[in-house]
């Protein structure tokens, strides 16, 4: 179902969606008030939901859907402005499935192509999410994987003190990070680096919102900044982030190196640098998201003596990135969201006693 206050944009989305196989458009609405009644009657699987609308905007509608416990998921449709970024970030933290950017500029063919690519990617991710089977109804932690792959019977003792934590996420990441970061204590003894797949401006808004709900300081990465213990550094959208050792500290560097796994910032790019900077004395946590970003760098981290955890299937919006490391036998623990922060803290404390 298409929800947008622009009749022209509703028609543009309708035309593109009609070209996609196995996509049925059950209706459209001009604002949130108009949409609510139709959603209850039509029960769509997925909404394209404009962020900024009169009467009731996209964020207000999303919260109302949550309050009424309606099952429809939402792809937010946002403009690349600071206001649009803030509202969309809030929506993602409230549980929106994902978002797409309204194309801008005078090239109509390019705009149409960009929008088509975004829609195809997000709808494919949604299809993957509804096609998956939960690992368990209770979301239990540390379930072994058939054929001897996946989580170890017990987490191995770290050979040396953990020096850094890396979190990697894509689709569903903002909501997941909102559940993990606030549970980390204010005296965390190592820095935390986060690669979340998002475009420029959006990572800034996400860092601000996560900082508001966390006891740790959460900042968007800046060139040359020193990552102090207890600081959470979120990779800036549109750039790659790497970490280098500077004496007893870690310095953040931002580059325009090409995307990896189709994304920038990429988990693989970040984690490779952290593995090198810490001589493998790091912990990686791979969270919800489509694709395989993080797989190869987790393999390298493990080869250097580091440690890997993964979010469990039942709690993932899309079980892609964690699934890749689990099926490769790299994940020592597979955890629901509520247990990730305590597991990070325990790992750091145990490693410091080694």
Quote the tokens at residue 325: 């490391």
Catalytic residue among 293, 297, 307, 347: 293
Catalytic residue among 12, 170, 273, 351: 170
Distance, CA of 264 to CA of 266 (rounded, Å): 5
197 is catalytic: yes
79 is catalytic: no
What crossing angle do the helices spanning 108-131 and 7-18 adopt, rounded to 10°?
Answer: 60
The β-bridge partners of 77 are 50, 100
Strand 98-101 and strand 73-78: pairing?
parallel
Triad 91, 95, 96: Cα angle to 5°: 60
Peptide bond into 248 cis (omega under 30): no
Catalytic residue among 98, 175, 197, 315: 197
Cα–Cα separations (whole angstroms), residue 284 to 298, 331, 347:
7, 9, 11
How many C-beta atoms lie closer than 10 Å to residue 202's C-beta?
26
129 is catalytic: no
If phi over 0 gives left and psi between -120 and 50 gives alpha, with beta otherwise, what is residue 229?
A: beta
Beta strands in the chain (DSSP E): 2-3, 28-29, 46-50, 73-78, 98-101, 164-169, 192-196, 217-220, 226-227, 231-234, 240-246, 249-255, 282-286, 307-311, 333-335
Catalytic residues: 170, 197, 293
């Amino acid at each position: 179902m298409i929800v947008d206050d622009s009749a022209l944009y509703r028609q543009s989305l309708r035309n593109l969606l009609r070209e996609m196989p196995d996509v049925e458009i059950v209706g459209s609405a001009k604002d949130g008030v108009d949409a609510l009644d139709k959603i209850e009657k039509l029960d769509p699987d997925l909404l394209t939901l404009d962020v900024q609308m009169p009467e009731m905007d996209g964020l207000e509608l999303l919260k109302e859907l949550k309050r009424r416990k309606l099952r429809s998921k939402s792809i937010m449709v946002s403009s690349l402005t600071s206001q649009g970024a803030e509202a969309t970030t809030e929506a993602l933290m409230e549980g929106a499935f994902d978002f797409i950017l309204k194309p801008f500029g005078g090239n109509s063919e390019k705009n149409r192509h960009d929008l088509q690519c975004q829609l195809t990617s997000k709808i494919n991710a949604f299809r993957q999410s509804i096609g998956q089977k939960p690992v368990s109804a209770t979301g239990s932690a540390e379930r072994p994987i058939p054929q001897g792959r996946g989580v170890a019977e017990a987490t191995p003792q770290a050979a040396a003190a953990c020096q850094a934590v890396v979190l990697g996420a894509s689709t569903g990441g903002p909501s997941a990070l909102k559940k993990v970061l606030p549970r980390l204590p204010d005296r965390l003894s190592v820095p935390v680096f986060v690669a979340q797949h998002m475009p420029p401006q959006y990572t800034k808004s996400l860092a601000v919102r996560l900082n508001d709900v966390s006891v740790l300081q959460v900042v968007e990465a800046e060139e040359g900044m020193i990552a102090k213990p207890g600081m959470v550094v979120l990779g800036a959208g549109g750039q790659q982030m790497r970490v280098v050792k500077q004496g007893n500290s870690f310095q953040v560097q931002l580059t325009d190196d090409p995307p990896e796994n189709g994304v920038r910032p990429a988990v693989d790019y970040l984690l490779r640098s952290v593995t090198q900077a810490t001589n493998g004395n790091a912990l990686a946590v791979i969270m919800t998201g489509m694709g395989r970003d993080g797989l190869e760098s987790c393999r390298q981290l493990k080869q250097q003596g580091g440690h890997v955890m993964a979010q469990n299937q039942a709690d993932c919006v899309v079980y892609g990135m964690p699934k890749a490391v689990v099926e490769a036998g790299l994940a020592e623990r597979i955890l629901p969201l509520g247990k990730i922060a305590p597991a990070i803290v325990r790992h750091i404390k145990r490693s410091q006693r080694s």
